[in-house]
């Protein structure tokens, strides 16, 4: 059994073998902080967080670098629009985004790189490209990558320059020798933020920063390069051109791209005004629910967020926590340790074979439904033959890779109930009074009245269930 990863470069699943056995160097393109983080950013960050965690679970020593692009046209534009210094604008967005990513349950990457803190590396990198004949300085002070010096261009996105497959930009910048050349360094317009460079005052282009930060923090070659699928062309293609022109070596061994997020079947975009901000998601749902919803899909596929996307996930998460809470108190008098150990081994195998298959969290979660059904079935027995508490704890351990189900189950259940009551401005005493009233009516065989009470509670979103030990209530979520 070994880990297989779908490599976008080769367009097939490949057995994972890092450059250095036991160690993984991974880079994922992070966010340009020109605005607030949205679901798409959340999805991508959760995907690479889970990948990092599974690699660690598999015993790899992982170095995960993730960048913030903290200077670009949109940042300058958006900062100017509200009269804030662009650097301060970026800084504030980074602080809030970090806090939101923490709240989402993501581990912090090993290195959180920032373009503006690597300006020297970027300048060095550009110098090397110029020295090697791969870049040129235009009269405007801009520096461009000379695309025809890199014959491998297009190998990731499979475009062919000879066939002129790229739609040519209409607003070609004046200093370019070839309209497909892309900017490495942009000269500063009057009043714009700038850094000193051998080519005058300016700032780095978008693509070069990732090449430079990779070089600085991970070296010439890395194992996994990730990002959203929309970055394949031109961003990642340009990164390859830059880095491999300097090193002459294969840049990344595996290219991993996660799918995009749609809202009710439509592409998320500013013009449609249908974006979902991470901040709003976190205000409405807990991190377990959000992660569960995002990870039910295969990472490489697009996600379509419909109205029941998160509510359904919340229901599943609540059910799983409820089961775990019940499992903690299960009767252990008839437990068979050998059978329990076998079950745990079986669960582990299902977990690993799903995750080994290109991090198939969708398959994993489908398997997990079976595990919880199993525990529920055992719990219905007066004396379970499996140690469901131990099985539950094992599942929790495995779910640590997704960073779901890591809260105290009893607390999660009661917190959910309390949040519901608070939301409805209702007290538990009220519910218990109603239950007592119903019991009284039932005793007098006044079923019309007992049913009325039940329907009333149901209408408020509460279900009640008669058990041998009495009537219990639960929230319908």
Partner RNA sequence: GGCUUGGUGGCAGAGUGGUUAUGCAGAGGACUGCAAAUCCUUGUAUGCCGGUUCGAUUCCGACCCAAGCCUCCA
Q: Which is nearer to RNA, 19 or 93 (CB)?
A: 93
**41 belongs to the binding site for RNA (CB under 7 A):** yes
In this structure, the number of other CB atoms found within 10 A of the CB of residue 417 comes to 18
**454 belongs to the binding site for RNA (CB under 7 A):** yes
Tokens 């499996």 found at: 386
**32 belongs to the binding site for RNA (CB under 7 A):** yes
**395 belongs to the binding site for RNA (CB under 7 A):** no
**Closest-CA residue to 242 (of 286, 169, 296, 182):** 182
- Determine the straight-line distance between the first and last CA of the chain, rounded to whole angstroms: 39
**347 belongs to the binding site for RNA (CB under 7 A):** no
Q: What size, in residues, is the chain?
A: 477
**373 belongs to the binding site for RNA (CB under 7 A):** yes
In this structure, the number of other CB atoms found within 10 A of the CB of residue 356 comes to 18
Binding mask 140-179 for RNA (x = CB under 7 A): -----------------xxxx--x-xxxxx----------
Q: Which is nearer to RNA, 89 or 206 (CB)?
A: 206
Cβ at position 22, least distance to RNA in Å: 27
**Closest-CA residue to 267 (of 229, 298, 241, 239):** 229
Stretch that binds RNA, among 98-106, 116-124, 222-230, 246-254 (CB under 7 A): 222-230
**119 belongs to the binding site for RNA (CB under 7 A):** no
**77 belongs to the binding site for RNA (CB under 7 A):** no
Binding mask 230-269 for RNA (x = CB under 7 A): xxxxxx----------------------xxxx-----xx-
Q: Which is nearer to RNA, 61 or 369 (CB)?
A: 369
Output phi, psi for 472, to 5 deg. -120, 155
Q: Which two tokens stand for residue 28?
A: 């994922």
Size of the site for RNA (CB under 7 A): 75
**476 belongs to the binding site for RNA (CB under 7 A):** yes
Tokens 């900017």 found at: 183
Distance, CA of 135 to CA of 175 (rounded, Å): 12
Cβ at position 284, least distance to RNA in Å: 19
Q: Where are the beta strands (DSSP E) in 117-177?
A: 135-137, 143-145
Binding mask 290-329 for RNA (x = CB under 7 A): ------xxx--xxxx---x---x---x-------------
In this structure, the number of other CB atoms found within 10 A of the CB of residue 469 comes to 6
Cβ at position 131, least distance to RNA in Å: 25
Tokens 């929230």 found at: 475
Residues 349-368, interacting with RNA (CB under 7 A): 357-358, 360, 362-363, 365-366
Tokens 């030990």 found at: 469
**Closest-CA residue to 264 (of 313, 305, 309, 308):** 305
Tokens 């994993």 found at: 364
Among 72, 121, 142, 352, binds RNA (CB under 7 A): 72
């Amino acid at each position: 059994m070994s880990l297989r990863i779908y490599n976008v470069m080769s367009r097939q699943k490949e057995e994972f073998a890092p450059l250095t056995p036991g160690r993984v160097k991974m880079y994922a393109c992070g966010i340009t902080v020109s605005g607030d983080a949205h679901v798409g950013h959340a999805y991508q960050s959760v995907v690479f967080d889970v990948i990092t965690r599974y690699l660690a679970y598999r015993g790899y020593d992982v170095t995960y670098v993730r960048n913030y692009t903290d200077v670009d046209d949109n940042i300058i534009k958006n900062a100017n629009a509200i009269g804030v210094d662009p650097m301060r604008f970026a800084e504030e967005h980074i602080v809030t985004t970090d806090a939101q990513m923490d709240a989402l349950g993501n581990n912090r990457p090993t290195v959180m790189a920032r373009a503006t803190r690597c300006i020297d590396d970027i300048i060095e990198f550009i110098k090397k490209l110029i020295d090697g004949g791969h870049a040129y300085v235009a009269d405007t002070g801009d520096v461009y990558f000379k695309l025809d010096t890199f014959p491998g261009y297009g190998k990731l996105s499979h475009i062919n320059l000879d066939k002129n497959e790229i739609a040519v930009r209409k607003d070609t910048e004046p200093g370019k020798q070839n309209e497909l050349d892309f900017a490495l360094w942009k000269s500063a317009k009057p009043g714009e933020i700038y850094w000193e460079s051998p080519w005058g005052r300016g700032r780095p282009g978008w693509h070069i920063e990732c090449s430079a930060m990779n070089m600085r923090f991970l070296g010439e070659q890395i194992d996994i390069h990730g990002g959203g699928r929309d970055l394949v062309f031109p961003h990642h293609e340009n990164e390859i051109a830059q880095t491999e022109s300097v090193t002459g070596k294969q840049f990344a061994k595996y290219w991993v791209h996660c799918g995009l997020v749609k809202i009710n079947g439509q592409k998320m975009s500013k013009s449609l005004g249908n974006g979902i901000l991470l901040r709003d998601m976190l205000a409405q749902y807990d991190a377990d629910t959000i992660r569960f919803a995002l990870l039910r899909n295969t990472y490489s596929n697009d996600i379509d967020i419909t109205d029941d996307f998160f509510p359904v996930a919340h229901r599943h998460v609540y059910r799983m926590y409820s089961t775990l809470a019940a499992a903690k108190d299960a009767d252990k008098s008839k437990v068979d340790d050998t059978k329990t150990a076998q079950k745990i081994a079986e669960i582990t195998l299902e977990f690993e074979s799903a995750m080994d298959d290109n991090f198939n969290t969708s398959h994993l979660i489908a398997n997990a439904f079976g595990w919880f059904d199993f525990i529920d079935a055992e719990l219905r027995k007066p004396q379970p033959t499996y140690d469901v508490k131990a099985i539950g704890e094992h599942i929790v351990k495995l779910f640590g890779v997704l960073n779901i189900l890591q809260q105290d189950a009893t607390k999660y259940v009661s917190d959910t109930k309390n949040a519901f009551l608070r939301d409805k401005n209702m007290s538990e005493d009220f519910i218990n009074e109603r239950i007592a009233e119903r019991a009284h009516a039932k005793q007098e065989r006044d079923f019309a009245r007992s049913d009325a009470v039940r329907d009333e509670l149901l209408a408020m979103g509460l279900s009640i269930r008669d058990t041998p030990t009495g009537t219990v209530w639960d929230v319908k979520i």
